A and B are shown apart, each in its own frame.
Chain A
Amino acid sequence: MNRKLVTILQISDSAFPTGGFSHSVGLEAAIKLGIVNTAKNFKQFTVQCMENAGSFSLPYVTAAYHSYMDRDRLTDLDSRCQACLNNHVANRASIRQGNSLIVTAAKIFPDEEIRQIETLLDQDRLYGHYAVMFGFLSSVLQLDLHQAHQMFVFGVLRTIIASAVRLGNVGAIEAQRIQFELQQGVDNIIRRNLSRTVEEACVTFPLVDITQNTHDTMFAKLFHS
């Protein structure tokens, strides 16, 4: 049995309860604003979010992956992420998902390190930003770094696609076809950001960030962010 593959499948499954599906990564706001209204600009929107995940979040995933035993370093990364995530909607989503991930993982996986980080979250000594928690958890579960990167970027793509279906903008099968097409870009994004440090972490496409930032101002919304 390929233990790693099965772990990856379990964490990526929509049945893994981390509340990841309550976030649309700014898609709901983009549709409301009229920025996304065709298949073409929907795909462009999604690629922008994936690229931003690559250039902004992957450095944190990598750094946390390499420092999973170093609590001080993890706290530093988490604080730095906090200073950099001044889009409060993205910030909130990151903290929610990061905390959910660790709390859920602590109950499911036997590794003691996870429970230690959960304690830090309980004591408010960590914000629990998603990219940092994700890198940490991947390392504890002994996944390859490349697998962690793939899961992370795939996760952004998958979440946006799922959101589009739930918002009724794309049919389920068409959405999967688009997802497959955009999946081909995942490794390219990872490769280009492999040596990027957290000091160099940046937003590549600012418009989707600003769009997501307006999420709370919508009168009615399906998603938390």
Chain B
Amino acid sequence: MGSLFSFRQRRKLLIAAAIVLAAAGAGFYARSQLADPVSGRIDFDVKLPGTAAMAEGDAWSPGAVDGAGFAEAARNAGYALGVQPSTGQIRVEDLRSGALWTSNPDKAALAKETVSGDLRTNLESPFVMEYYEQASIQRKVINSRGAGVKWTIAALKDGVAVRYDLTQLGIRFVMTYELTANGLRVAIPDAGIEENGDHRIISIEALPFFGAAAADDLDGYLFVPDGTGALMHFARGEKLIGKGYNQPVYGAELTNKSAEFDTTLPSTVPVFGMKKGDDAFLAIIQGGTSNATIRAIPAGVVSSFHSIDAKFVYREEYDRRLSLGGKSLRVFGDERSRQDGEVAYSFLSGKDANYVGMAKRYREELTAEGKLRPLPPQGEAPLELTIICGDANKLDHDYEAATTFGQAEDIVNDLKRSGVAHARITLKGWQKGGGLHGSEPFKVEQALGGREGLQAFVKTAHSLGYEVVLNANLVDADTDTDALTPKSLGIRSAEGDVLLGEDGSFLLTPNVTYNLAEKLVRQAKAIGIDGIQYDRLGDTVFRDYNPSYKYTREDTAYIYDRILDLTCDELGYGGVFLGNSYAFGHADHIYQMPDDGNHFYSVDEMVPFVPIALHGSMTYSMAPGNLRNDAGQERLKAIEYGAVPAFELTADTSRMLMDTKTYGIYSSRYAQWKKQVLAEYADMTRLSATAGQPIANHYSSGDGVYVTEYGNGVRVTVDYNDGKFDVQEEGSR
């Protein structure tokens, strides 16, 4: 009896508990649906226009072959394209200089080669493909000499299309070669790729040995986009260490979770080149850019040739979890990236056959695409001063104010009194709690003076003729401190789960970033802010595997560009860090352009490729003057490379930032750095004749002495030996 009674009681209890649980669950679900006032919905179409339809052509009937076995397939004013029907190899003749560029080393050069197997046949193939068999994870390699590889050649208007049929793998693809005004365009159109069997493409390298130089071809170098550009000389005084240069454009993909402990700075421009004797080429990756990897391999690593090429990646490798316990399996993504891989080779000769010529060619290309416009003539670039307002410490989450708006006013007043005519003041850490928390990006920290304080600061700065820019990071979020839910707003990994860092950090979907930016821009405009400096937009792209978006890196870059456009339209100025090339033409200024490369063993020398391409069309600054590793060297480098001086300062000591996310600001007190700011501003005044001018030439005129020549004839000579620089106008030569 008693037990029955208690059972009944318990049943009631159980039912009650179930109801409560269900209600809680429903409430929780409703909350999760309502919690995010910022949505992922955007009012424009992100998907880029689909891949191009493939040009169809009739079968090409080769004419007479010359001594080397090539038959002419196309010819324009500058170049003639030859194709070797027996191998599919191609050759471009520069009709002006007579230089011959072949897709592969010729027989005579190959005779001396000692490697064998795939490595050897790769040397004779116009492509190298990595593939895998489904249900296997082993990477395999095939080239045009592989078993069962057949091809047919079709004639196009300015060239040919070679259709490869890898009969044993059930894979087909097309490579097109077309002459352009500047050289050759090689493409692997998406429309031509077919995967009918069990084999899937991982990556394709187009013309892996184009122009490959033999080891004893000592005069020349490979050009790689490491840092602001770097050279790998053919001549090698030291033993070869490492495997050359092998870097994905815009850095490694994050969503496949393969990021290892690595401090490598990603390459920002999709270009590479080679100089061989009096001739050179520059290759620009124009399609499939953000899935391309640039590979520069010095002689001795895989063959006795120096080679450089672009590898287009179609499937990313990632870890698929098999259990909660952490067991995982390395697999390849199912879906192939849709992209028209395309590389445009421009040929250079004579005095243009060097990195300066390459950079100028790149500038022309960007200008032709409308991405670069010469800056208005009278625009002397302003001094870039970032004021760090503060950040929340990680101990009790209190906001540590390093510079209040009042103190910032004192700083700008003092700068003006000290003779700084033009400055752009960027405020960092001004948001409530130091960063984005929740869906309102324009919440001003009260400890600094709040919205009113900010408004007063803007007024003061404007009255002095300075501009005020806000720094904002609308990409990084944190589950601990943010009211943003990762599930609906964070990007998802290749596995399909939210990409969550160990510390609870995650990345916002580009749409959300766009919506936040729109809010920020609108509200900042209301109080007269002159622009926004965005973290991340110019330095990081990633995919989003969220099934409702399925964004590629290209899509992400596209949305980021839209954010920058919106900012420039509304406020007039948008700045980014590092400066990935997709932001060219959308951002006005690049912050912290690298002033050094990655120190790869095989990379010998850093050159100002990006500065030569950008100067006069875009401004940029390098490491802040107060946070340099080597104060003297880096200051001179910024002058040599035409960068605007930049500082990141505070009114109070930066010690209070030590335990915040803004750590590593080891010295920033304005009072301490004022002298240096004024000194570098004086440098800038001395260099004012170069402002807005394109760089015409750059060379070394002695050991440790470098000369940068500008379009108006001004020459800046930087001497690293005595730490001085000299500006010569044309007349005073």
Tell me, yes or no, whether A binds B: no
Binding site for A on B (CB under 8 A): none
Q: A residues near B, CB below 8 A?
A: none
